[in-house]
Amino acid sequence: MKIGMFDSGLGGLTVLKEFVKKYPNNIYIYYGDTKNIPYGDKTKQELIKLIREIITFFEKEKVDMIIIACGTISSMCLNEIRQMTNILIYDVISPTIEYLQKTNQNKIGIFATNATINSHIFKTSLKNKKILEIATQEFVPMIENNKIDLNIIKKYCNQISSCDVLVLGCTHYPILEQKLKKYLPDVLIINMAIPLLNKVKLFNDSNLSREIVSNEIVLYFTKKSDTLLQNINNVLDFPYKIIFL
Ligand code: DGL
C-alpha cells in the first residue's frame, strides 16, 4: 500500500515511526510543510489553502490512503479534506477520542496547539469526562529548533499533575515524552499514534521481517532548516530518502 502522511514539520514523523514499526512493508510518502510552520497559529482559511496543495500532491503521487499526522488539521479541517478528495482519510484525533470514551479514566489533560485547544474538540466529544485543555504552543518551536526549555515543560506539567491521563494532542509532543514523564510519573501519557494504529488495519506482515530499503520511505519537506536533518535522525531509526520541494 502507498500511504501519504502530512504535518507542518517534524511532528508527523512520530506517527510515521509507529506505522513503519507496526506495518513495515508499505510505501510511505511524508510531507512536512516546514515553509508554513506553525499550523497551530493559523486560521482555518489559511490552513485549507495549504491543505489543498498537499492533497493535490498526494493525488499526483497516487497514494491509497492519507493519514493526517497533525492534531491541528485533524481538529479543524477533517470535513473539508474529506470533501476535497476521494482518497481514504484517517485523522489522528478521532481514534484517541474513541479510546478515551471507553476508558474509566475521568480526569484528562490535553496539551495541544492554540488551534486544537480553541476548537474544544476533546471537551465537546468527551462531555462525561473532566477535560483540562491547555495550549502549549511554545513546544513546537522548541522542538523544531531543538532548544528544549525544561522550565517551560515543568510549568505546563504542574498544571495537569492531578490528571489521570495526558493526551499529547499535537504530534510534535511525543518527541518530549521522556521529559514529560519525568514531571508526571503517575500520569498515563497518550501518544495519539497508538490508538490510530489500532484503528487503521493494514496488512500486518512485519513477521516477514523484510528489511526496509530507503526508497520505500520518502520524506518531502517544503523548506530546509539548520536543525531539520539532525532532528529527523533523532526521531527516525530507519533509512529514508529526503527531497526538498
Ligand atoms: N504537529 C502539529 C499538530 O499536531 C502542528 C503543530 C504546529 O505546526 O503548530 O498539531
Quick one: pLDDT band at residue 202, thresholds 50, 70, 90? confident
Going from the N-terminus, what domains does the chain have, and what CATH number goes with each?
2-91+196-244 (3.40.50.1860), 94-192 (3.40.50.1860)
Is residue 192 within 8 A of residue 121, CB to CB? The reply is no
Average pLDDT of 218-244? 95
pLDDT at 191 exceeding the cut of 70: yes
pLDDT at 209 exceeding the cut of 60: no
Q: Which long-range contacts (CB under 8 A, 24 or more apart) does 52-57 make?
A: 52/84, 54/6, 55/81, 55/84, 55/85, 55/87, 57/31, 57/220
> Which string of DSSP letters, residue by residue, matches 17-53?
HHHHHH--SSEEEEEE-GGG--STTS-HHHHHHHHHH
- The 10s digit of each residue's pLDDT in 77-136 is 999 999 999 999 999 999 999 999 999 999 999 999 999 999 999 999 999 999 999 999
Q: Are strands 130-135 and 217-221 parallel, antiparallel or unpaired?
A: unpaired
Could you tell me the distance, in angstroms and rounded to a whole number, from the CA of residue 71 to the centre of ligand 1? 6
Is residue 177 within 8 A of residue 120, CB to CB? The reply is no
pLDDT, position 215: 59
What angle do the packed helices 71-84 and 44-61 form, to 10 degrees?
60
Is residue 166 within 8 A of residue 190, CB to CB? The reply is yes
Is residue 13 within 8 A of residue 236, CB to CB? The reply is yes
pLDDT, position 211: 55
Ligand 1 atom showing the smallest separation from residue 40 Cα = 9
Q: What is the CA radius of gyration of the chain?
A: 17
Contacts of 151 (CB under 8 A, 6+ apart): none
pLDDT at 206 exceeding the cut of 60: no
Ligand 1 atom showing the smallest separation from residue 72 Cα = 10
195 — phi, psi (to 5°)? -60, -35
What is the separation of C-alpha 43 from the centre of its chain, rounded to a whole number of angstroms?
Answer: 19
The residues facing 67 across adjacent strands are 5, 90
> Which entry of 77, 157, 163, 170 is annotated as an active-site residue?
170
Mean pLDDT over each residue of the chain, to the nearest integer: 94
Q: pTM for this structure? A: 0.95
Quick one: pLDDT band at residue 24, thresholds 50, 70, 90? confident
pLDDT at 213 exceeding the cut of 80: no
Pocket of ligand 1 (CB under 6 A): 7-8, 11, 37-40, 70-72, 113, 116, 140, 170-172
Could you tell me the distance, in angstroms and rounded to a whole number, from the CA of residue 7 to the centre of ligand 1? 7
> Active site includes 157?
no
Largest CA distance in the chain: 47
pLDDT, position 162: 95
pLDDT, position 25: 84
Ligand 1 atom showing the smallest separation from residue 116 Cα = 10
> Active site includes 170?
yes
pLDDT at 214 exceeding the cut of 90: no
Q: How far apart are CA 108 and CA 190, in angstroms?
A: 10
Contacts of 179 (CB under 8 A, 6+ apart): 148, 150, 153
- The 10s digit of each residue's pLDDT in 26-54 is 999 999 999 999 999 999 999 999 999 99
Q: How far apart are CA 52 and CA 56, in angstroms?
A: 6
Torsion of CA 155, 143, 93, 242, to 10 degrees: -170
Could you tell me the distance, in angstroms and rounded to a whole number, from the CA of residue 107 to the centre of ligand 1? 24
Beta strands in the chain (DSSP E): 2-7, 27-32, 65-68, 88-91, 107-112, 130-135, 165-168, 188-191, 217-221, 241-244
Average pLDDT of 160-172? 97
Supply the residue whose CA is at minimum distance from atom 2 of ligand 1: 70
